[in-house]
Structure formats: structure tokens, C-alpha cells
Amino acid sequence: MESDKPHFYSLFHLPCSRFSYPLLFLLFTLITFLSLHIPTTISLFSTSILSFQRDQPPTCSHFHRAAPRRKVVMSIEEFGGVGDGKTSNTVSFRRAIRYMHGFRGRGGSQLNIPNGTWLTGSFNLTSDFTLFLEHGAVILASQDPKEWPIIEPLPSYGRGRERLGGRHISLIHGNGIRNVVITGENGTVDGRGRMWWELWWNRTLEHTRGHLLEIMNSDNVLISNLTFQNSPFWTIHPVYCSNVVIKGMTILAPLNAPNTDGIDPDSSTNVCIEDNYIESGDDLVAIKSGWDHYGIKMARPSSNIIVRRVSGTTPTCSGVGIGSEMSGGIYNITIEDLHVWNSAAGIRIKSDKGRGGYVANVSISDIRMERVKIPIRFSKGSNDHPDKGWDPKAIPRFKNISISNVVSINSTKAPVLVGVEGSSFEGLCFKNITMLGVASTSKWHCEHVSGFATDVFPVACSELLNSGNNSSWCLPS
């Protein structure tokens, strides 16, 4: 899949800061070329550039209380750390955190990681705390599974996501903490996941793989300006959290690395994810809220989430996914200004029998895609349940989901919308959606869904063209 990337893939994939003049020249040549062929692309481009100059773009700042200057600022070296890439720093990190824990509620603390390569096993964070990776700093994960000890499964999953029982802790872990900042000068956290992907591929994994960063039961967390790469499993997992900002991150994994989702807000509220570049082997962003009867019982929804200005690629998965674990409910979600290319899907809503729960009040708009196979997809899982205790009568519900202003070029298929048998849809609206490149005979594929579509190309399925009911809320704007 990597070998046949068209040449302009690599152009879009460079972050702005690295644009050189020859590249800019190439980009304008490309735009000129496109404008001759697809006039809408150029106007799209220029209007968005203009509106950027006119108004300040919206930001996540309301989601997070800024950290005051920390009273204590120390380097990992002061705790015996050695940044040679070979010496284990597990003890140094744990010693540093133990010390800094003493400053929570008393002015707070900051741990600096200098230029160098700092090998370590898993360590925990504390409250009123900043982890700061200076320019050139790399935190390198230990390859010894014993340095990723087994912890309890999440109550909303009932077991490890991949294997029964407990799960490996994340490399960087926080539980029950507040006022935390993980940031720096684009330092790197490298999970060295290959060993774990191989255990998964060769079916010798004993316990569910660990995340690169998991924050549980925590409030007021900022994760910014770093590169996270090669996570064993989902990369950033805020679960049972509130007021989380994830901004200016670069998240990378090989495009075939299994389950290396970028960011998975799970049973969390007030989460803002913006200005991130993600390329990985699974969804760039996936919003979740627990698994079947465990998630239904815990009833902890994901809500008030913004995903904005995220770009990237994932050849077998989606730009933004909702579900399939959505049993605690998902509501008040805004997804806007995405740019997704060379991917299997752009927007994907996944559910299944047994999930229960609901997805409501979701607004998805201003999505640009290139070479995305199925730009918009609703689907049901493949009978993936935690154990035999799932309830076949627990059918998910969908209400007030709007998808608008989508342009997809070189897509292979019109939207594929397959609901779960018996699931209910109220207020599903598709508006101003253009799929270019699909065969003129290509039709929307719809099963077990109902709703409205206006101003879409190609023409929508009959399930979405019911003009008998009052659809005034889904008219062209």
C-alpha cells in the first residue's frame, strides 16, 4: 500500500514548519494543476486560507485551566538518570515522581527531560505536575514485558480489550490525578511497539497490550507539542477523564501496525483534540464509551468532545471513528476541519448488537478527503463481545447526527450505511456532500438506517429521501 503513494501524498504529509520553497513551488503547481481539472478545489482552498486570515481560528483554550509556574523544576539527571539509550532509567523516573508527588497542592513540580535517549519501563505521573521533553529528548520504552506490569481491566470493559483478565499498564500512566501537563519542544516518546505487534501477529500475546499514554479518572490534562511513536496499542487513551486537551501532537506508527489508534477518548467529557498530525495502523481518532454489558452497567458516556484540524492517513481504518465500543453513550460531539487521505474510511460510526448505548447530537462538517475508499461508513461489528454475558436485545440508538460539507476526491465508493438490525435512527442528516471519482452508477448502500439527505452527490438511497416527513431541519443552508 505504501509503494504506490501518488507523489503529492508526501507534500501534504509534511507539516507546515518544514515547507521549503521548492516544496511550496511544487504545491502551487499542484494547485494550479488541480484548478484546471476541479475548479471547486481551488475555491475551497482559497476561501479557507482567507477565512483563516480574517478570524482567529477557534482553539481548545476553554477546555483547560493553564498551569501556573511550578515551584520545583528539576531534571531527570538529578535523580540519577542517564540519557545514553542503554542505561535503564526506570528507577530514576519512579524516584523523581515520588519526590515530585510531595509538591502536589504545594506549588507543583516540573520534570525536565534533556536532549538524550532515556530508556525506561512504565512510570506513573502525579498531580500539579509537568513532564517536559526538551528539544532532542527521547523517552524510549523498555522491551521487557515485566516493566509493563499487569493492572486491573477497566470496569467499562470487564476484561482486557484483547485478552481475558488484566492488561499491561501503559508506558506513561496516570490515575486519579489533576492539573497535569505533558509537553515540550517536540521531544519524542517511542514505545518500540514492534515486539508487541509481533506477539499479536503470531498469536502469542498473553495479556492485552499497553498504551503509550493512559490517563484514568483525571481532570485538567494538557498533552501538547510532542511526537509519540510506535505505541504497542492505542497511543493516547484518556478514560474516565474531564477537561483534556490534546494539541499540536505528531503521532506515528507503521501503517500496518495493529491497533495503533492515535487518540481514543473513552468515557470522558470536555475533551478537545486539535491541530494534530496522525499516521498509524488504526483510526486516527476513535471516540468510545465501554463495551457491551460492562459499559451499559457503568453508564459513563463520552460527551462534549471537539475534534478539529486533524490530518493524516490510515490505510485500513478511519479518520475519525465513533465506537464500536459505545455502550455508555456518546453525545455532543463536534468533528470539523479534517483532512484524511489514502485511508479506508473518513468518518465511520461502528456499533453492534449487544452494545446498547446511544450516539446523539453529533455534528460532523468540513471534511476533505483524497483517495479514501469509503468516505462515510456506518457499520456493525463482527460479533466482538467481551464474554457470553452480552444481551442480544441491547440495541444501540442513534439520534441527531448531521454530516455536512464533505468533499472527497478519488474515492471508490458512495457512502455505505449499514445499521444494526432493529436500531433506531432519529434525525440523521446528510447535507452538501460531494464524492468525486466514484463511478456514475455508484449508489449509496443503505441497510437498517433512516434519515434525510439534501444536496448530495451521488444521489442518496431511498431510505434517506423520504420527503413525506417534516425534514425542515435538514434543508440546504
Ligand X SMILES: *[C@@H]1O[C@H](CO)[C@@H](O)[C@H](O)[C@H]1NC(C)=O
Question: Which residues are at the interface with ligand X (CB under 6 A)?
Answer: 15, 17-18, 37-38, 44, 94, 115, 124, 135-136, 151, 173, 175, 183, 186, 195, 198-199, 202, 204, 224-225, 227, 247-248, 250, 304, 306, 331-332, 334, 360-361, 363, 366, 400, 405, 407, 409-410, 432, 436-437, 466, 468-470, 472-473, 477
Distance between CA 360 and CA 428 in Å, rounded? Answer: 10
CB of 103 to ligand X, least distance (A): 17
Q: Which is nearer to ligand X, 440 or 477 (CB)?
A: 477
Q: Going by C-beta distance under 8 Å and a sequence separation of 6 or more, which residues neighbour residue 468?
A: none
CB-based burial label for 111 (10 Å; 0-12, 13-18, 19+): buried
Nearer to ligand X, 71 or 135 (CB): 135
User: Between β-strands 167-168 and 150-151, what pairing exists: parallel, antiparallel or unpaired?
Assistant: antiparallel
Nearest distance, CB of residue 389 and ligand X, angstroms? 26
Q: Is 282 annotated in the active site?
A: yes
Least Å distance, CB 393 to ligand X, is: 21
Q: How far is the CB of 416 from ligand X (least distance, A)?
A: 19
For the purposes of burial, counting CB atoms within 10 Å of the CB of 21, is it exposed (0-12), middle (13-18) or buried (19 or more)? exposed
Instruction: Give the nearest distance from C-beta 421 to ligand X in angstroms.
Output: 16
As measured in angstroms, the least distance from the Cβ of 228 to ligand X is 10
CB of 15 to ligand X, least distance (A): 4
Q: Decide: 226 and 189 in contact? Cβ < 8 Å.
A: yes
Q: Report the residue number, 53 or 382, with the smaller CB distance to ligand X.
A: 53
State how far the Cα of 113 lies from the Cα of 132, in Å rounded to an integer: 6
**Considering beta carbons, is residue 89 or 225 the nearer one to ligand X?**
225
Q: Which is nearer to ligand X, 381 or 427 (CB)?
A: 427
- Pairing assessment for the beta strands 358-380 and 416-418 based on DSSP bridges: parallel
The size of the chain, in residues, is 477
H or E element in which residue 194 lies = helix 194-201
Nearer to ligand X, 161 or 173 (CB): 173
C-alpha cell at 87: 542505561
- Burial string for 69-105 (b: 16+ CB within 10 Å, else e) reads ebeeeebbbebebbbeeeebbeebbbbbbebbbebbe
Set 219, 282, 292, 352: catalytic member: 282
| Residue number of the CB atom closest to ligand X | 468
- Write the burial class of residue 434 (CB in 10 Å: 0-12 exposed, 13-18 middle, 19+ buried): middle
Q: How far apart are CA 94 and CA 78, in angstroms?
A: 13
Residue 332: CB minimum distance to ligand X, A: 4
Q: How far apart are CA 92 and CA 115, in angstroms?
A: 16
The CA distance from 296 to 298, in Å, is 6
Give the separation between CA 188 and CA 208, rounded to whole angstroms. 24
Residue closer to ligand X, measured from CB, 34 or 384: 34
Q: Is 384 exposed, middle or buried (0-12, 13-18, 19+ CB in 10 A)?
A: middle
Cβ neighbours of residue 203 closer than 8 Å, sequence gap 6 or more? none
Residue closer to ligand X, measured from CB, 185 or 387: 185
Catalytically active residues, by annotation: 282
